[in-house]
Every structure is written in C-alpha cells, then in structure tokens.
Structure 1
Amino acid sequence: MPLAFLSADRDTAATGQDVVPPHPDPSQWRRPYRLGPWRVGIAAFALLIAAYMLISALIIAVAGTLAGATATVAIAALTILFSLRLLRMGVWVSSRGLRRVGLLTTRTLRWRDVARISTVQQPVRWLGLPRSVQGQAVQIELRQGEPLAPLLTDHSVDFLGRRDLFERAADVLEAWAAENRH
C-alpha cells in the first residue's frame, strides 16, 4: 500500500524508468524522490521512543501521579509530531511552484520566480551536520532576491549512498522548472 506522506512517486527501480512519471494531477504537491533510509530510520526510532513514553505514562497514571502522566503524554505527543514533520521535510513540486519543507518552516516559490535550477559541485554538509565534504548540490537561482541554500545535496539524509537517485531527483526538478516556468 503506497503511503502518500512518504513519497508521491512510484518506485522507479521497479518500473525501470529513469525519470519519475508525472502525477496525474499536476496541481497536487508531490515529492520528486523517495525518502532515504536515514530519515525513515530516525523517524522510526523517535516513534519507538514515543511508544515507550506512552507506556510509561500509563504506568505513572496507574501509580497515581496524574501530573507526571500528563507531562509524559505531552512529551510523547511532541515526539510523534517531530517524527511526522521529519517525514514531511524535503522538496515538493507542483504546477504552482516549488516548496521546501523544513522542520519548523515551509517556503513556497512560484515557478515564475525561479530563473534556473542546476546541479553544481561544491562543499556540502554531511547528513545536515556542520561537517562539510565535497559533493553535489541542486542550486536554485531566483529572478530577484537573495540566493537560496541548496535544495538537495548528495550527502543529505535522503541521498547518502544513493548517488543515482540524487541525479534522478535533480533531473526531475530541472524538468519541472523547465516545463512550468513562464
């Protein structure tokens, strides 16, 4: 059963296609790549911790401390929300524009504001940590305004060790930009 919040794509390896097929409804927001194992693993671990917190909240409530149980449930709920947001993070595209979803913020750009999307060699952050390594990044150039941070890198949680999928995602983003810019 496909889970739309994980990826709006079909598995390109199973279909044998190099580029992700277009969505039947181009106005729908969709992720042009599949989530990486690092992101899914971190979210699964956080959900596991949240399950233990909910069990401990039940034990605390049975023991008679309602305030402690309430605090534990609240922390577990925040952990679950963190996990869900972590799974939503990334780049999304539609015929209306490009959307970058972060942990706390979301930024949407209209296609007409995008001058060019290209892949460049540059130092990139490894798994989002402060350590930089040489890699590839998908850069976006706006018609006006400040330069943006790279959309995707080949050393991010979605593409570490999956260079071919990074190249496919970069190609798909460039194709969406070329097709929808007016």
Structure 2
Amino acid sequence: MIECVPHNSRVADNWVRPYEPGSGRWLVIAWEAFALAMLSWATVRQFDLIGHGVRVVAGLLAAVWTVGAWRILRLGVYVSPEGVLIRGLLRSRVMSWREIAGVRLHRATHRLGPWRIESGNTVLLERLNGGTVYTELWEKGLDFHSQPGVFLAVYHEIRNRHRSAAQE
C-alpha cells in the first residue's frame, strides 16, 4: 500500500492507496517524454529558434512533463476511515463515506457507429443524491491489466470500507 497526505484534505489526513501502481505508468511517462521532446524539436525547427528561444521551449515542455509525470504517478483511488479520494489527471475529488450510497462494478462499453466495444469493468460510487462518480479504477487499465485478481480485491476493499463506515 502506498500512503499519501494531500494538502487540501477535508476528510482525513492519512490516505492509503489499496494497491500498487502498475509498471505501465512508467511506459506512459516515457512515451510522454518522447512526444514532448519531438514537439520541442518540431517547434524549434518550425520557428527557427536559437539561443534563449530553444531554452524557453525546452524549459516549458520539461515543466509540463514534470507536472504530468507527477500527476500520473499519483493517479488512483485512496481510502481512509472517513472517506475516499479520487485523484485524476487534472483534478482530485474527496468524498466522505456518508456521501456514498454504494460501491458497484460497472461493465463499460463504447459505441463506434453500430458496434459496441466492451472495455471491461470499472468501479462506480453511487451518491446519495442518485448520481454516480467514476473512479480511476479500470479492470483493463495500466494498474490492473495483467492482474485482474488485484482489481477485484481493490473493489472489495473499497466496498468493505464503505460497509464498515455505514454500520458505525
């Protein structure tokens, strides 16, 4: 388990990610570094940049890559006795267990014209007001693709924590 302490926690101070991140995240980070290096090269060539211009472009894209890599490494679902924290690529969301009516699996499908493409299970949080919140947990995602048993174990962990909180 990986522990994390967010700065703007409104529910708990001790968040735990109930799974190890998949090694595929490093592949994504490396791919993004390559893509941003190619963008940097193309920008320098396109605009005939020299000297400070090259350094500014390289510095800006390196900063974007650093922030993106940091967010990719922190992606996921974290739990605490008081609630759940969902870290996405662009934003994070905190929900207390009291706000959650249930935790369930959802079979995700995508439509491409007349075809339906099955994309595996995801974990959904059902809110008391009837809405649903998608988590970053996906059965065929980078963290669980080669280990579906871990995906189900994480789902059961979150569901059991919710049930325990509801009984208190």
The question of a shared fold, defined as TM-score above 0.5 by the shorter chain, is answered with yes
Aligned counterpart, 1:174: 159
Judging changes above 3 Å, is the alpha-carbon distance between structure 1 residues 89 and 124 closer, same or farther for their aligned structure 2 residues? farther
Aligned counterpart, 1:32: 18
**What are structure 2's unaligned runs of at least 5 residues?**
4-11, 42-49, 111-115
CA deviation vs aligned residue, 1:34-65 (integer Å, no higher than 9, x gap)? 11122232124435777x69xx9xxxxxxx71
1:104 to 90, 97, 107: 90
Judging changes above 3 Å, is the alpha-carbon distance between structure 1 residues 124 and 170 closer, same or farther for their aligned structure 2 residues? farther
1:8 to 2, 11, 15: 2
Q: Secondary structure at the match of 1:68?
A: helix
Q: Does 1:149 align with 2:143?
A: no
Q: Distance in 1 between matches of 2:14 and 2:109?
A: 30
Shift of 1:117: 0.9
2:72 to 78, 81, 86: 86
Letter in 1 for 2:27: G
Normalised by the length of structure 2, the TM-score is 0.72
Q: Secondary structure at the match of 1:148?
A: strand
Aligned counterpart, 1:20: none
Q: Distance in 2 between matches of 1:150 and 1:175?
A: 16
Single out whichever of 171-180 and 107-116 deviates more from structure 2: 171-180
Judging changes above 3 Å, is the alpha-carbon distance between structure 1 residues 68 and 8 closer, same or farther for their aligned structure 2 residues? same
Aligned counterpart, 2:144: 159
2:103 to 117, 121, 140: 117
Shift of 1:153: 2.1
Q: Distance in 2 between matches of 1:114 and 1:180?
A: 10
Shift of 1:132: 3.7
Aligned counterpart, 1:72: 58
1:41 to 17, 27, 44: 27
Q: Distance in 2 between matches of 1:123 and 1:105?
A: 22
Aligned counterpart, 1:138: 123
Aligned counterpart, 2:9: none
Deviating above 6 A after TM superposition, structure 1's stretches of 4 or more consecutive aligned residues are none
Normalised by the length of structure 1, the TM-score is 0.67
**Does the 8 A contact of 1:44 with 1:83 survive in 2?**
no
Judging changes above 3 Å, is the alpha-carbon distance between structure 1 residues 151 and 174 closer, same or farther for their aligned structure 2 residues? farther
* Identity across matched positions, percent: 24
Single out whichever of 99-108 and 138-147 deviates more from structure 2: 138-147
**Does the 8 A contact of 1:123 with 1:133 survive in 2?**
yes
Letter in 1 for 2:153: R
